[in-house]
Amino acid sequence: MQISRRDNTPDNAMLINFTNLRRARTARPLVIERGRGIFLIDENGREYIEGTASFYSAALGFSNDDLTEAAIRQMRSLPAYASGIYRTVPAALALGERLAALAPMKGARVAFASTGSEANDFLIKFMRFRNAHLGQPKRTKVIARTGSYHGGTMATAALGGFPGTAAAFNLPMDDALTVSQPDYINLALAGESEDEFTARMLLEIEQTIEQAGPETVGAMILDPVSYSAGCVLPPRGYLTGLRELLTHYGVQMFDDEVITGFCRTGNMFAADTFGFTPDCMTLAKALSAAYQPISAIVMSGAFYDVLERASDAIGTMPHAGTYSGHPVAAAVALRMLEIIEERDLVGHVRAVAPRLHTHIHAMAGHELVFNTRALGLGGAVQFHPIKDQRGARGQAMQQAMMDHGLLLRVVGDTINFAPPLIITTAEIDEMMRRFTAALETLPRETA
């Protein structure tokens, strides 16, 4: 039977993500056709460096044959099967074991999902399940930090994120508590030392818990380095102090490592870099180098044990996802974990990161630059805003960089760097050459 086509215009519906929908109707997007290493080629044959690894995800660049072959092998042996009801696939089992062994928490247990948003959303749901079983059904509130993005679902879009998102979507906000982004560079008071700033940030969180009523607060979710807030590095003592504070109030610490997981900060996880142990961790993006959609929720044994008891009490865990632990995605992620070891990606990041830091910090003296920061294979150059036009310089730089064959994420007037982890020092030099050339085309007036 012939399937009839309706009279819809074909390219209207596709571009929604962080896009002005009216503009998307008329402006043709950049259409990327191919990739090789850290380079991309668009439909017109123009070449770009992807300096933020495509939303911080394509950790091995765009042409890793090992991952492709792992996917093909799995596609040939078992391309689809839903894990659940006491059935699963070897790749999901092996991946769960491997992740649990890597995690910093004691007795870690792993559940799968398909995206970072879903992992965070599921985790919040698990928290509510757990607390209800513990006889604390009021512990439903989640604290997040302004500017920290945790996803696009109903629950996660209400947390922190871009100011105005929750209101724009008219999201239920009763259980979302918002505290400041610990951005010492931009939010310190005049003369405030870094230690004083950390203490003030922790006090704000304590007061938020006290005001809400500690018996109503279930968790705090945080991205240890907040790229969505402009590559905000945690001030000294913040994460370890936060760990103590949350433990004191019985509030779970949810470590969103969707961006920072898998070598980005120079260790396997940012929790290792900053020396704290979360209660739960969410992983996505680099977990499969973004070759397949897969995410993971890693829970401490203590957190998981309550889920186990709660499911026992009602007979089952009333939760599932058809693609949670999808065989092809799991096989690719498993191969990714092997590659991290085989290629010593942590060692590679540590070896090439100083080159990136040197380049980034060399920008500090530029008249348009307000601040530079770097950690592991990431960092940012923050410009002085143009007077009364916050973000305009960032947008101008966005265009200039594209004209010079460079794709980076722009947050206001801050330009984030987080290249694929496989980048070489020569490629870092080339990326920064393009960045500098783009910068030189920007008008100079700082006022």
Contacting residues toward ligand PLP, per CB under 6 A: 55, 115-117, 120, 149-151, 223, 228, 256, 258-259, 284
Looking at the Cβ atoms of 180 and 424, the one nearer to ligand PLP is 180
Cα–Cα distance for residue pair 123/140, rounded to 1 Å: 12
Question: Please, are residues 48 and 40 in contact by the beta-carbon 8 Å criterion?
Answer: yes
Looking at the Cβ atoms of 120 and 178, the one nearer to ligand PLP is 120
Report the nearest approach of ligand PLP to the CB of residue 282 (Å): 7
Report the nearest approach of ligand PLP to the CB of residue 13 (Å): 19
Report the nearest approach of ligand PLP to the CB of residue 148 (Å): 7
Looking at the Cβ atoms of 228 and 398, the one nearer to ligand PLP is 228
What is the per-residue DSSP string for 196-250? HHHHHHHHHHHHHHHHH-GGGEEEEEE-SSBTTTTSBPPPTTHHHHHHHHHHHHT
Looking at the Cβ atoms of 270 and 363, the one nearer to ligand PLP is 270
CA dihedral 127, 98, 278, 139 (to 10 degrees): 0
Q: Which of 145, 148, 144, 116 is nearest to 229 (CA)?
A: 148
Looking at the Cβ atoms of 164 and 315, the one nearer to ligand PLP is 164
Residue nearest ligand PLP by beta-carbon distance: 116
* Strand 379-383 to 406-407 pairing: unpaired
Q: Which residues of 386-415 are buried (b: 16+ CB within 10 A; e: fewer)?
A: beeeebebbebbbebbbebbbbbbbbbbbb
Question: Please, are residues 60 and 289 in contact by the beta-carbon 8 Å criterion?
Answer: yes
Q: Which helix (H) or strand (E) holds 176?
A: strand 176-179
Report the nearest approach of ligand PLP to the CB of residue 228 (Å): 6
Cα–Cα distance for residue pair 378/251, rounded to 1 Å: 30
Report the nearest approach of ligand PLP to the CB of residue 55 (Å): 5
Looking at the Cβ atoms of 149 and 435, the one nearer to ligand PLP is 149
Question: Please, are residues 51 and 408 in contact by the beta-carbon 8 Å criterion?
Answer: yes
With the C-alpha atoms ordered 425, 426, 427, 430, is the resulting torsion angle positive or negative? positive
The total number of residues written for the chain in this structure: 447
Looking at the Cβ atoms of 59 and 368, the one nearer to ligand PLP is 59
Report the nearest approach of ligand PLP to the CB of residue 156 (Å): 7
Report the nearest approach of ligand PLP to the CB of residue 327 (Å): 19
Report the nearest approach of ligand PLP to the CB of residue 164 (Å): 18
Q: Which of 130, 177, 64 is nearest to 421 (CA)?
A: 64
Q: Which of 136, 282, 277, 271 is nearest to 213 (CA)?
A: 136
Looking at the Cβ atoms of 258 and 377, the one nearer to ligand PLP is 258
Looking at the Cβ atoms of 103 and 386, the one nearer to ligand PLP is 103
Report the nearest approach of ligand PLP to the CB of residue 60 (Å): 17
Question: Please, are residues 173 and 183 in contact by the beta-carbon 8 Å criterion?
Answer: no
Cα–Cα distance for residue pair 61/80, rounded to 1 Å: 26
Question: Please, are residues 373 and 231 in contact by the beta-carbon 8 Å criterion?
Answer: yes
**DSSP symbol at 279:** S
Helix residue ranges per DSSP H, 343-385: 345-362
Report the nearest approach of ligand PLP to the CB of residue 143 (Å): 15
Report the nearest approach of ligand PLP to the CB of residue 150 (Å): 5
Looking at the Cβ atoms of 220 and 363, the one nearer to ligand PLP is 220
Looking at the Cβ atoms of 120 and 372, the one nearer to ligand PLP is 120
